[in-house]
Amino acid sequence: MRVLHIISSPRHEGASVTVATALIGALRERHPDLDVDTLDVWHEDLPEFDERVIRAKYKWVDGDDLDDAESRAWTKIESLARRFREADRIVLGVPMWNWSIPYKLKQLIDLAAQRNLLFTYDGVDFGPAVDVARADVVFVRGQYYGEDGPTPGSIFDHQVAFVEFFLRTIGVRDVRSLIIDRTWDPAAAEAIADGVTRAQKLAASD
């Protein structure tokens, strides 16, 4: 089984990486031949989505020839999308930044999620362009975002719904989310340890 492990935190000792790594470790116990493709958005060469890339995008969609610079940029985008398409499973750790996701993760999504690479569009309907059996997503937040708290998720959480929507839209058939709140709390260590336990159980579930 090939797993695409996306790291979106620059802190490898942080909760999202710790818990996602524990999940992959539990997966490896079940699948000794596990093939893990690690995509760390902070160390990956992600091109800027600038005018050159936009030109390449529209030329590619229209079937026009790309110049050398555009071709190099588009080749990188295709290689990023290919890593999603080649995965049997995705493991993604996502810390909450300013009620949403880290900007480097958004950059990866904006680059890779291109028409006919990760999704299709016929002028009316969107459809998937990949077929990935499952994604396990570790969402980490400093505070509690339950509806019964002072920062209800229906207002403050622009993290979970977006990532789940993205994964389902491109063709992930089963998206399972593990949410860890209160990592800025005095009981943060306990919350993270509980997250590790839940991640190991998630890895064991089919």
Domain with 178, as residue range(s), is: 2-204
Residues 133-146 have a mean pLDDT of: 97
Number of domains in the chain: 1
Residues 132-144 have a mean pLDDT of: 98
Q: 147: pLDDT confidence band, cut at 50, 70 and 90?
A: very high
* Residue 110 tokens, joined: 């904006």
| CATH number of the domain enclosing 200 | 3.40.50.360
Q: Do 93 and 138 touch, CB atoms closer than 8 A?
A: yes
So what's the pLDDT on residue 206? 73
Q: 22: pLDDT confidence band, cut at 50, 70 and 90?
A: very high
Question: What does each C-alpha distance from 48 to 52, 70, 104, 107 come to in angstroms?
Answer: 9, 12, 11, 8
So what's the pLDDT on residue 78? 97
Segment (H or E) for 112: helix 103-112
So what's the pLDDT on residue 145? 96
Residues 65-79 have a mean pLDDT of: 92
pTM for this prediction: 0.95
